[in-house]
Amino acid sequence: MLDKMTDQLGFHGNALLLRAERQRAIASNIANADTPGYVARDVNFAQAMHEATGSSTSTGAARLASGGAGAAGATDPRHIPLPASTTGIGPRSTLGYAVQSQPSLDNNTVDLDRERANFVDNAVRYEATLRFINGQSKTMLSAIQGQ
Amino acid sequence: MSMFSIFSVSGSAISAQSQRLNVVASNLANVDAVAGPDGQAYKARQVVFQTTPMGADSSAGVRVSAINETNTPGRRIHDPGHPSADAQGYVTHSNVNAVDEMVNMISASRSYQNNIEVMNTAKSLLLKTLQMGQ
């Protein structure tokens, strides 16, 4: 019964971890905005969330543990799967390369305006997820206390 | 807590940008320097940024890998009365381009501000995470 109660919390917990992961990737991009040759990275949140929630079933958990959801990110079954990430959630394969909008001479692909917008957007969504968690835990607590 | 590495990433960027600002300051301070007793005028310096991995997976910080001297010839100004003038009456000044340095300074300042903002946002998110469930 308890796992049903905390199931929804687990979903938002995964979302929170992925948001933190994306926040970190964007922070790296902003830090390297002036580094020649740096290639901007970004987390494909939809895909990462899909993989993370798929892992809540038993087969998915084994799949995620065995290394980056099989051949995630591969477009052909013959592709060699990428190594699993060292962090528990958000396998490395969900970390993609941001598409360049304005090529620069020093091969840096960071678009600072876009990164800043992404950063703020991600921060707001992180906070929203936090509020979901807070609200749900409050709901659950009041249900337990029966007041 | 993967968000803690944001502080080391942005911190490395802030320190790199402040080093860049430092170099710009020394270039601008020496913009009118003439050749010293060794006959060599001040040469403008430029920092070289390089991505450096920061602890956790996929965190990319930045560091100053080298400080290079520009090798363009210094400005030569005809001033025979100057004590540092050479046989033809020319004084060699430093090769600093003040306009370039001002652009560099604005760019460094903006990047610095950006990274401070990133750190502030990360800090407020972490503080809110600490209050989760209260």
Each residue's pLDDT tens digit in chain B (134 positions)? 578 889 999 999 999 999 999 999 999 999 988 876 677 888 999 999 999 988 766 788 999 999 999 988 888 889 888 888 888 888 888 999 999 999 999 999 999 999 999 999 999 999 998 888 77
pLDDT of A18 > 70? The answer is yes
Residue numbers in B near A108 (CB within 8 A): none
pLDDT recorded at residue B59: 84
Residue numbers in A near B117 (CB within 8 A): 116
Q: Is A18 exposed, middle or buried (0-12, 13-18, 19+ CB in 10 A)?
A: buried
- Cβ of B125 and A38 within 8 Å? no
A114 touches chain B (CB under 8 A): no
How does pLDDT run across A78-94, given as a tens digit for each residue? 776 654 444 444 455 57
pLDDT recorded at residue A82: 53
Residue of B nearest to A93 (CA): B58
Which residues of B touch chain A, with CB atoms under 8 Å apart? 1-3, 5-6, 9-10, 12-13, 17, 20, 48-51, 54, 56-62, 107-108, 111, 114-115, 117-118, 121-122, 125, 128-129, 132-134
* ipTM surpasses cut 0.95: no
- Cβ of B115 and A130 within 8 Å? no
C-alpha neighbours within 13 Å on the C-beta side of residue B59: 23
> Phi and psi at residue B62, in whole multiples of 5°?
-140, 145
How does pLDDT run across B1-25, given as a tens digit for each residue? 578 889 999 999 999 999 999 999 9
- Cβ of A20 and B49 within 8 Å? no
Closest-CA distance of chain A to residue B30, Å: 24
How does pLDDT run across A119-138, given as a tens digit for each residue? 999 999 999 999 999 998 88
Global confidence as pTM = 0.76
Of the candidates A36, A119, A134, the beta carbon closest to that of B132 is on: A134
Of the candidates A35, A119, A134, the beta carbon closest to that of B121 is on: A119
